[in-house]
């Protein structure tokens, strides 16, 4: 039999089997009693009560006091029925097969076996009372084996049902985990796309923005100098041509391979020197470059962030600062690498960081690398950009 923990279909099926057994025992046992003139009416009443109590099984909870009370009442009824049969083999003792199966289905193994043992003792006592010691004990043997067999079969069935339910629960958990993983994968993919778009936007701004700004300033200056100093104007146009060619080369690299224009094998000190020299030639603004005597080994991401920060700072100086001098300093201090770019210009507006896409992109780079970027007033006038990045890595593991 099954408790309310079992599916309704299995519960009804097992209950039907129990009632079929009960009906067969009732027909056979009562007919035999009537033939021999036994107390068949008493037996019929006890059998009817047994059948009525079986209807309560689907409502019983496994291993509850009501279940134990039910088994006790049913075992008492069967024990009372056994002595009513005059034959050596009592038909009514078969009802304990049903009780053995119910006990093993609805109770833990140890308690189920305890009930089978109790049913065996009660049946044996009834047989001894009716047939005496030798005959009663011999008659008990097949019934005891049947109780254990049906109980074991029911226990195996219960374990199989429990395993099936665990498998279904595990399958449901796996399906839910799979659904969540798919949702997470979609979110990660969307985030990766957004990050790549932001990176590409920063690259386009840092490369084309810087080159085209320099080119625009040079063309304006060349246009003013054409009437008075055509030779200098020609040199400025040549600088513009070089800037445009470099911008086109960097654009091809960015679009084709999304790679940084800063060569992987170019050391940061040489890259900053080339940047400062080109800026000074293009704008006429003096660049005072200070680099450490020994460059620390830096990952490619750190070198690119420092280079882009210097590039963006010089571009902003050229656009907005109206400065005559720029101080570009790279230094290592307290486990960090710091870039400082200051000018002697007019300073910066209060909302400079909010309105500048390049500065926002630099701040994002710095945060991703565990550092920080600040735009502040320079002592003595002007503005300065300060970027510091941690050196929490093995210097021997990266090329300089």
How far is 303 from 400, CA to CA, in rounded Å? Answer: 9
What pLDDT is attached to residue 7? Answer: 52
pLDDT of residue 234: 82
d(CA 221, CA 360): 30
pLDDT tens for residues 290-325? Answer: 999 888 888 888 888 899 899 888 888 888 888 899
Q: What pLDDT does 80 receive?
A: 92
d(CA 321, CA 384): 10
Looking at the predicted structure, is the pLDDT value of residue 396 above 80?
Answer: no
256 with 238: CB under 8 angstroms?
no
| Strand duo 336-343 + 383-390: pairing | antiparallel
The token pair that represents 199 in the structure block: 């990176």
Q: What confidence tier does 15 reach under pLDDT thresholds 50, 70, 90? A: confident
Q: Is 338 helix (H, G, I), strand (E, B) or coil?
A: strand
How many CB atoms within 10 Å of residue 261?
A: 23
Q: Kindly state the average pLDDT of the residues 134-149.
A: 89
Contact 88, 76 (CB under 8 A): no
> Is the pLDDT at 201 greater than 90, yes or no?
no
Residue 393 is predicted with a pLDDT of 53
The pLDDT value given to residue 41: 92
Q: Chain-wide mean pLDDT for the chain?
A: 82
**Both structure tokens of 101:** 């199966």
pLDDT band at 3 (very low <50, low <70, confident <90, very high): very low
Strands 383-390 and 372-377: what pairing?
A: antiparallel
**CATH, domain range 266-400:** 3.30.565.10
Average pLDDT in the 357-384 region? 86
Confidence of residue 355 (pLDDT cuts 50, 70, 90): low
Q: Which two tokens stand for residue 369?
A: 């690398």
Range with the largest mean pLDDT of 4-13, 81-90, 259-268, 326-335: 326-335
pLDDT at 206 over 90: no
Residue found by looking up tokens 């193994």 in the block: 109
Strand residues in 218-275 grouped as ranges (E): none
Query: Which has the closest alpha carbon to 347: 328, 307, 375, 327?
Result: 375
Residues 40 and 34: beta-carbon distance below 8 Å: yes
Whole-number pLDDT of residue 10? 64
Q: What is the domain partition of the chain in residue ranges?
A: 8-175, 266-400
- Band the pLDDT of 394: cuts 50, 70, 90: very low
Q: What is the pLDDT at residue 117?
A: 95
pLDDT at 95 (0 to 100): 94
Question: Residue 339: what are its φ and ψ, rounded to 5°?
Answer: -115, 130
pLDDT at 253 over 70: no
Residue 284 has pLDDT above 70, yes or no: yes
Structural contact between residues 254 and 204, judged by C-beta atoms closer than 8 angstroms: yes
Element (H, E) at 372: strand 372-377
Share of the chain above pLDDT 70, in %: 81
Nearest to 91 by CA among 131, 43, 48, 137: 43
What pLDDT does 341 receive? 94
CB 242 within 8 A of CB 274: no
The side-by-side arrangement of strands in the sheet containing 372-377 is: 286-290, 325-333, 336-343, 383-390, 372-377
Q: At residue 254, does pLDDT exceed 50?
A: yes
Which of the pair, 244 or 1, is modelled with greater confidence?
244
Cα–chain center distance at 143:
56
Phi and psi (nearest 5°) for 299? Answer: -65, 160
The answer to whether the beta carbons of residues 258 and 297 sit under 8 Å apart is no
Distance between CA 156 and CA 253 in Å, rounded? 69
């Amino acid at each position: 039999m099954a408790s309310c923990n079992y599916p309704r279909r299995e519960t009804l099926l097992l209950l039907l089997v129990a009632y079929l057994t009960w009906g067969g025992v009732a027909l056979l046992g009562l007919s035999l009693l009537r033939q021999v003139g036994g107390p068949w009416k008493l037996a019929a009443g006890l059998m009817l009560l047994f059948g009525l109590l079986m209807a309560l099984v689907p409502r019983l909870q496994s291993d509850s006091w009501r279940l134990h009370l039910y088994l006790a009442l049913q075992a008492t009824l069967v024990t009372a029925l056994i002595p009513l049969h005059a034959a050596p083999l009592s038909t009514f003792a078969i009802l304990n097969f049903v009780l053995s199966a119910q006990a093993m289905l609805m109770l833990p193994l140890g308690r189920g076996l305890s009930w089978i043992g109790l049913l065996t003792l009660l049946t044996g006592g009834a047989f001894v009372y009716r047939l005496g010691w030798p005959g009663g004990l011999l008659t008990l043997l097949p019934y005891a084996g049947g109780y254990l067999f049906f109980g074991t079969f029911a226990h195996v069935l219960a374990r199989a049902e429990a395993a099936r339910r665990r498998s279904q629960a595990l399958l449901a958990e796996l399906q839910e985990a799979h659904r969540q993983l798919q949702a997470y994968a979609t979110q990660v993919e969307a985030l990766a796309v957004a990050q790549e778009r932001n990176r590409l936007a920063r690259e386009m701004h840092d490369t084309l923005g810087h080159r085209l700004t320099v080119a625009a300033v040079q063309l304006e200056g060349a246009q003013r100098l054409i009437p008075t100093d055509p030779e200098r104007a020609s040199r400025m146009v040549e600088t513009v041509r070089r800037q445009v060619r470099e911008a086109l080369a960097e654009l091809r690299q960015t679009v084709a391979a999304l790679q940084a224009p800063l060569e992987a094998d170019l050391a940061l000190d040489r890259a900053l020197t080339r940047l400062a020299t080109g800026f000074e030639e293009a704008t006429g603004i003096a660049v005072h470059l200070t680099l450490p005597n020994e460059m620390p080994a830096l990952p490619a991401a750190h070198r690119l962030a420092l280079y882009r920060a210097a590039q963006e700072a010089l571009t902003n100086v050229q656009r907005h600062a109206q400065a005559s001098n720029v101080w570009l300093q790279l230094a290592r201090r307290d486990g960090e690498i710091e870039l400082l770019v200051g000018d002697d210009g007019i300073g910066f507006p209060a909302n400079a960081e909010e309105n500048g896409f390049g500065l926002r992109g630099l701040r994002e780079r710095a945060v991703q690398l565990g550092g920080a970027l600040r735009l502040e007033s320079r002592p003595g006038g002007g503005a300065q950009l300060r970027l510091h990045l941690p050196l929490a890595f093995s210097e021997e593991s990266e090329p300089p």
